[in-house]
Every structure is written in structure tokens, then in C-alpha cells.
Amino acid sequence: MIRSMLYATDLGLYAPYVLQHALSLARTFEAELHVIHVVEPMGLFAESVLQSYLAEDVLRKLHSEGVNNVIESIEHRVLAGFRDELGDDNQDLALIASLQVLQGDPSNVILEQAQRLEVDLLVVGSHSHGAEGDTPIGRTAARVLQLSEVPVYMVPMLQNRSER
């Protein structure tokens, strides 16, 4: 029985297509839908550049307040995007029980949240917006498929179909 689901979005070009699948499943099973987007941490090069130009206390403040502000901004933009995509009065918006933007390794964070929320199904796209056209499945999707303890519903990206 599917009572709750986690839709992991990369906010890429095909995210609205994958969202439609997640909403359709949530409607069908009358399940609550949690949405997550994971932001990867700043790379070592960017971190070292900031350390070169900023005082330690300024850098610490940037990390604590700046990252939180960016994440909060992304959450607002994602919700606004859903409203634009679906329409403000769309009943499907009510299916979304929570929306979170978290920082970390995408596959690890997705799997941790699936376990924390005790979802019955994960919904992901087959690869991210940055994947090469001949790559059938992205790194995050592959890791989630390999390591998930709950079933994974993977939506193939549309560009793969047009190449056949």
C-alpha cells in the first residue's frame, strides 16, 4: 500500500514532466507527496577562493546565514514554479505535504529523507539536466536505484524517446 511518496527533483528541464507523474501517483493512491531538491555543497576550489578573500568570521557568517538564505529562496522559487505550472487553484497543490531544499550529496540526502519520512515510494527522473544525451541514467538516479530500501518509480526523460 502506498500512503506516502517522496519526489526528488533536480529542477531541470524535465522536472515538470516528472512532477506530473508524481502527482498522478499521489492522486491514484491518495498518498501524501513530499518533494525534495538537494543542493550540492560548494566545491573545494570555490571554498578556497572564499577563504583567500574573506576573513574567517565573515566566511563563517556567509556559511551560516548565506546558505540558509539561498536554500529558503530556492524553496520559494520551487513553490512558485509549482503554482505557475499547475495554477494557483489546482487541487494537486494540496497533495504536496512538504517541500524541502537540503544541502548535501543528492543520493545520500534523498535516501536519508526517504527513511526519515518513512515513504512507501520514491519518484525520480532517469537523469539530470546536465547529463549527456547518450547517458541512459544519471549518477544520482543510479545510486538511488541501487541503495533504496523502498520501491523507486523512475520516469525516463523525453529526449531519449525522440532519438529512437
- pLDDT value of position 164: 46
Whether the per-residue pLDDT at 98 is higher than 80: the answer is yes
The structural architecture, per CATH, of the domain 4-162 is 3-Layer(aba) Sandwich (3.40)
pLDDT tens per residue across span 104-159: 999 999 999 999 999 999 999 997 655 455 567 889 999 999 999 999 999 998 65
| pLDDT for the residue 158 | 62
Q: For the segment 11-65, what is each residue's pLDDT rounded down to a tens digit?
A: 888 888 999 999 999 999 999 999 999 988 766 666 677 777 778 887 777 767 7
Domain boundaries, the chain: 4-162
Q: What DSSP string describes 8-74?
A: E---STTHHHHHHHHHHHHHHHT-EEEEEEEEPPPPHHHHHHHHHHS-HHHHHHIIIIIHHHHHHHH
Burial of 91 (C-beta count, 10 Å sphere; 0-12/13-18/19+) = exposed
d(CA 117, CA 17): 24
Neighbours of 107 (CB within 10 A): 22
Place of cell 497533495: 95
- Structure confidence at residue 77 (pLDDT): 85
What digits encode the pLDDT tens for the residues 64-86? Answer: 776 778 788 888 888 888 888 88
